[in-house]
Amino acid sequence: MPPIPVLQDDFQKRLLLAAEDYELDRVRVGDGSLAGFTHIVTTRKGLFAVRQGEWKLLAYGQFFGITLRENAVFVFQACNATYDPVSKGRLVRLERDGDSLTGARVIAKGLDNGVHQMDFVDGSLCLVDTYNQWVLRFSEDGDALAPRFPLAKLTERWSCRQQGYVHANSLLAVGDRILLLLHNRWRHTGESSEVLVCDRAWQPLERWRVPARSGHDLALLEDGTLLVCDSESGDVIGTDDLRVRVSPYLTRGLAVGQDSIVVGASRMANREMRERITGTITFMNRSYAIESVLEFPAAPMDIKRLDGRDGSSSEYLARVPWGSHLKTGAAKIA
């Protein structure tokens, strides 16, 4: 594997490197040791491993959605600016052997840059193509499967004028339901976020209003409470009226384990400046007491536990006895 470059804050230089990576099908991975780290984090400045008090750069590039299987880590990488309509997104599979990343390969490319979160649902790797408002599907080796259209089809890629655009960004399968989080662009519309509830064929059943402004992320607790990041408020909220203050910044990225909850936060920036900003990662215990806050060189996009035992993982929920129990606690609006 090629040596990893120094973490680079020059955005234009990062774009040039990304364009070269895309053309060469190159993934820049450095020291792939995960030993001692608890979580993996995607950002616009690279892929990181973290634990309380420490971060480590694993791979170079702009990474967004992430999900794990026993022998692999799957990440979405945008190889140019996410607001650019040129499709230079790609799906990267990082091979994993225990506490080490041992290799990397591009398994799909030519995807829209605006893909957000992804997860395995019913054996298919599902990517939320946020700006086109559909769900892309692949095998774990990158074979394209039929996409799903649980939301209104758009006549053009996202724009502020597009009617019916909801900025769907997160998904989670719980029991016989698939949930999609609809951000709803609060700053433009004044509308709080919603959860779209679908059956396992991705057919919409109902929508729940949740008290989150520009919400991100979905995770389930053992008692059936659904957690969401209320990004504009810097909080994590639950469908049982739970509200926890986490950060003065925009909360995004949520991982839930048996004894911890980890939340990312990003400093404020206009869309065109988000590739340059920094953030934090907050480590809490299950009583929501903050144990530590890690200053972080990039804005977290998505966070997952390295052990896979994560309430934000659909496959983990499918394995545990409580993983199909969902309390709504939200106002149904449709």
**pLDDT-derived band at 157, boundaries 50, 70, 90:** confident
pLDDT of residue 331: 46
Percent of the chain scoring above 90 in pLDDT: 79
Average pLDDT over residues 120-139: 97
pLDDT of residue 185: 80
pLDDT of residue 160: 58
The CA-based dihedral angle spanning residues 296, 86, 93, 229, taken in that order and rounded to the nearest 10 degrees = 40
Which one, of 189, 144, 187, lies nearest residue 165 by Cα? 189
Residue 150 φ then ψ, to 5°: -75, -10
**pLDDT-derived band at 4, boundaries 50, 70, 90:** very low
pLDDT of residue 145: 98
Predicted structure pTM score: 0.93
pLDDT of residue 2: 38
pLDDT of residue 14: 84
pLDDT of residue 277: 85
Residues near 200 by Cβ (< 8 Å), separated by ≥ 6? 121, 122, 173, 176, 177, 178
Q: Is the pLDDT of residue 334 over 50?
A: no
pLDDT of residue 97: 96
Cβ proximity of 68 and 308 under 8 Å: yes
Q: Is the pLDDT of residue 316 over 70?
A: yes
**pLDDT-derived band at 131, boundaries 50, 70, 90:** very high
Q: Is the pLDDT of residue 329 over 60?
A: no
Residues 36-58: tens digit of each pLDDT: 999 999 999 999 999 999 999 99
| Summary mean pLDDT of the chain | 91
Q: Is the pLDDT of residue 323 over 50?
A: yes
**pLDDT-derived band at 115, boundaries 50, 70, 90:** very high
**pLDDT-derived band at 9, boundaries 50, 70, 90:** low
Residues 239-266: tens digit of each pLDDT: 888 999 999 999 999 999 999 999 999 9
Strand order from edge to edge, sheet including 28-29 = 28-29, 54-60, 46-51, 39-43, 300-305
pLDDT of residue 333: 40
pLDDT of residue 1: 36
Extract the tokens encoding 4.
């990893």
List, in order of start, the domains of the chain with CATH numbers. Answer: 11-332 (2.120.10.30)
**pLDDT-derived band at 159, boundaries 50, 70, 90:** low
Residues 167-214: tens digit of each pLDDT: 999 999 999 999 999 999 877 777 989 999 999 999 999 999 999 999
Residues 269-300: tens digit of each pLDDT: 665 565 678 999 999 999 999 999 999 999 99
Q: Is the pLDDT of residue 123 over 90?
A: yes
Average pLDDT over residues 101-122: 97
